[in-house]
């Protein structure tokens, strides 16, 4: 993990760099990863309307490519406040721009979750599923939800988006946990 590349960054500067300055007043949920069935993006898309009911300024940013990209674009098309981008070169700016990172994996094929660790190193509060290695990666530095449970996912996202102090505390703990040999790992 390159802790110089993946570190806390300036949100507004990152949004400007990404050409997304119009999102500066939004609360951004980021998914970054391959668009494959085991990543559970469809559950994130199913959860998002529930998030929007409680957090009207919520915005979902999906960054990645893969066999489910067209299906993901179709699902997002009529939702509003959802943007699906292809694979990007500078992922660190996307982490810096978001408020919360979500990795809703649904099977044990998701063995580790590199993007989860990158988000943690970037000092972001994370929501992921209680499956495979995700609980060990995130520890107490994030929120775990059951796999394939869009309602629980929406609830966890709302909880974090409504509470900037908890987001900050989890982000700081996540950064410490992402550091090699950190006492937060034990």
Q: In what order do the strands lie in the sheet with 27-32?
A: 82-85, 58-63, 27-32, 100-103, 125-129, 142-145
User: Taking the CA atoms of the chain, what radius of gyration do you get in angstroms?
Assistant: 15
Q: Is residue 155 part of a domain?
A: yes
What pLDDT sits at residue 101?
A: 97
What pLDDT sits at residue 22?
A: 95
CATH number of the domain that residue 21 is part of? 3.40.50.2000
What pLDDT sits at residue 47?
A: 97
Interacting residues of 89 by C-beta distance below 8 A, sequence separation 6+: none
Q: Is residue 5 part of a domain?
A: no
- Average pLDDT (5-23) is 91
**Averaged confidence pLDDT in the chain:** 90
Distance CA 127, CA 135 (A): 10
Q: What's the total number of domains in the chain?
A: 1
Q: Is residue 1 part of a domain?
A: no
pTM value is 0.92
| 156-176 pLDDT tens trace | 999 999 999 999 999 999 999
Q: Is residue 183 part of a domain?
A: no
Interacting residues of 185 by C-beta distance below 8 A, sequence separation 6+: 139, 177
The CA-atom distances, in angstroms, between 171 and each of 50, 52, 132, 175, 183 are 24, 23, 22, 6, 16
Q: Is residue 173 part of a domain?
A: yes
- Average pLDDT (22-37) is 95
pLDDT confidence tier of residue 95, bands split at 50, 70 and 90: very high
**3 three-class SS:** coil
Strongest mean pLDDT among 74-78, 106-110, 118-122? 118-122
What pLDDT sits at residue 26?
A: 97
Provide the percentage of residues in the chain whose pLDDT is more than 90.
70
Assess contact for 61 and 31: CB atoms under 8 A.
yes
């Amino acid at each position: 993990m390159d802790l110089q590349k993946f570190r806390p960054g300036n949100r507004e500067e990152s949004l400007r760099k990404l050409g997304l300055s119009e999102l500066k007043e939004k609360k951004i949920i980021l998914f970054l990863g391959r668009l494959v069935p085991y990543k559970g993006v469809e559950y994130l898309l199913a959860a998002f309307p529930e998030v929007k009911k409680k957090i009207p300024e919520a915005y979902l940013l999906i960054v990645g490519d893969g066999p489910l990209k067209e299906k993901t674009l179709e699902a997002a098309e009529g939702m509003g406040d959802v943007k699906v981008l292809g694979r990007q070169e500078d992922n660190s700016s996307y982490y810096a721009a978001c408020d919360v990172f979500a990795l809703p994996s649904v099977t044990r094929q998701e063995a580790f979750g590199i993007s989860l660790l990158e988000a943690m190193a970037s000092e972001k509060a994370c929501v992921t599923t209680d499956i495979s290695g995700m609980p060990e990666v995130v520890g107490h530095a994030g929120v775990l939800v059951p796999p394939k449970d869009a309602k629980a996912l929406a609830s966890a996202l709302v909880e974090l988006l409504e509470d900037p102090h908890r987001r900050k505390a989890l982000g700081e703990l996540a950064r410490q946990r992402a550091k090699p040999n950190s006492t937060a790992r034990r």
